Chains A and B, each alone.
Chain A
Amino acid sequence: MQKITRDQLIEKAASLLANGTVSCVLGWQKGEFDYDITPAVFETEDELKANFVWNDFCGANFSKYLVSKTKKCEGKILVFLKPCDTYSFNQLLTEHRFDREKVYAVGIPCEGMADIAKVKAIAGDGISAIDCSGEKLAVTTIYEDAPVMIDAKDVLAERCVNCKSKKHVAYDELIGEDGDVIDSARFDEVAKIEAMTPDERFAFWQNELSRCIRCNACRDICPACTCEKCVFGNPNSSLENKSPANSFEEKMFHIIRAFHVAGRCTDCGECSRVCPQHIPLHLLNRKFIKDIDSFYGEYQAGAEVGSRAPLVNYTTDDLEPGEVFERGDN
């Protein structure tokens, strides 16, 4: 259960709309099911009351939407940002992707979001409704009359289990209390893979990446990936969709996708969240983050606006590429 309520957020949004501070609100609304919450733009209090949603499935990070929405919306746009979203927000500002003047950011605390795959693993398929308002999630399926009660802690998304920060790094106004940066165990999984033999690593990634259907959702959702034209969208490149053969092509897509955001990836976890094939994309991003931290000093993308990303920076005595393998940690 989240600490702040839907009513609190609607009230805030409605008052900002009423006093003219903002002219539209970027918020969450119900999708096809109770768990596929989608982003939406609200313009009136009535719309908010009818469709606005805030619960354990509001994982969507709105930062990237600001790039297009600030251009479309007359006046200021209100955006609700969870702590991890604020890092993406800052990163986009650093890259001059939207006009800060056109945004009114309200920071909201987050108790962690639920992963629907974990919910389904417990409650089974055929979920008809999920009620997040009580202490536990009440999951109703079409097969049972009584709802299955699930502790939110048991179905936390991976990125929330390993949450890196409950602190907001950007906002105009804060609802509730701010938290702290957390020293999470987010690199443990990466270290486990590093400890495997090359053959095991290859088999591990072959197994994961060959499931990719190249829907490009991971690219589209990523707040660090905001190019308007993408090499993976070029119909003449032979890279724009999945090859019919089992080949290196998926791996190339994944290496380049992760590389393109290396140093700019805030580890928001959106890519892993949206992947319909449950590919652990965060393990690729975190490998880059871990390497950057150990080669060039710790760096958290988005922690402050205007910081220089490690790949557009250098020192004259940087590590040589050949030395990467002489270090014990690889």
Chain B
Amino acid sequence: MQVKEYKPLIVAFCCNWCSYAGADLAGNNRLNYPADVKIIRVPCSCRVNPMFVLRAFQRGADGVILCGCHPGDCHYTSGNYYTRRRMALLFSMLDYLGIEKERTRVEWVSAAEGAKFAATMNDFAEKVAALGENKRLEDLRCKR
């Protein structure tokens, strides 16, 4: 029997104005990052409700990363400041429930930072791969 190589599934919420453009730039520059990173475009990082993050895990993601404009650069002025507070509390709560803290991350990536985008995704994918499959947050009903 052939053992399937384990590759983590990563969901990346990227804000339309900075990080999504950053991902685009990474592509244009032919920078490599894992194909298992699934990007979901959101109008602003603060569009991401904590439920989105949990739902991603429930449906089989092994890691969830949120990318937005650098603090101060949000195209809606202050969206990412709210994101920052929300995610700080959410991540702390996940940790309190005994869920590996390496599975979640927030990173600020501007439209000019294609290289940072690729490097961030590579690093994050590596850390998540080291943790292995997401067991603690999975929902058996959503198993494929």
Contact = CB atoms under 8 A, between A and B. Distances in A.
B93 A259 contact: yes
Interface stretch (A43-51, A76-84, A156-164, A193-201): A193-201
A320 B97 contact: no
A321 B57 contact: no
B105 interface: yes
Given A248-B58, A248-B139, A316 B97 contact: no
Nearest to A313: B85
Interface string A318-330: 1111111100001
A320 B138 contact: no
Given A262-B89, A319-B88, A314 B81 contact: yes
B96 A201 contact: yes
B98 A314 contact: no
Interface string B91-109: 1111111111100111000
Interface string B108-144: 0000000000000000000000000000111111000
Given A203-B98, A330-B95, A318 B139 contact: no
Contacts of B87: 321
A162 to B, nearest CB: 18
B137 A321 contact: no
A284 B117 CA distance: 34
B140 A291 contact: no
Given A202-B136, A247-B138, A322-B106, A310 B85 contact: yes
Interface residue SS majority, chain B:
helix
Please classify how large the interface on chain A is, using the bins under 10, 10 to 19, 20 to 34, 35 or more: 35 or more
B139 A247 contact: yes
B88 A248 contact: no
B58 A249 contact: yes
Interface stretch (A28-36, A114-122, A125-133, A250-258): A250-258
Nearest to B104: A321
A8 interface: no
Interface string B42-66: 0000000011001101100000000
A199 B135 CA distance: 12
Contacts of B41: none
B82 interface: yes
22 contacts: A198-B100, A199-B98, A202-B136, A203-B98, A247-B58, A247-B140, A248-B139, A255-B54, A255-B90, A287-B93, A291-B88, A291-B92, A295-B88, A311-B89, A314-B78, A316-B71, A318-B81, A318-B84, A318-B85, A321-B88, A321-B91, A321-B105
Interface of A: 193-194, 196, 198-205, 231, 238, 243, 245-249, 251-252, 255-256, 258-259, 262, 284, 287-288, 291-292, 295-296, 310-316, 318-325, 330
Interface of B: 50-51, 54-55, 57-58, 71-72, 78, 81-82, 84-101, 104-106, 136-141
For the complex of A and B, 6 pairs with smallest distance between CB atoms: A202-B98, A201-B98, A314-B81, A321-B87, A247-B139, A321-B106
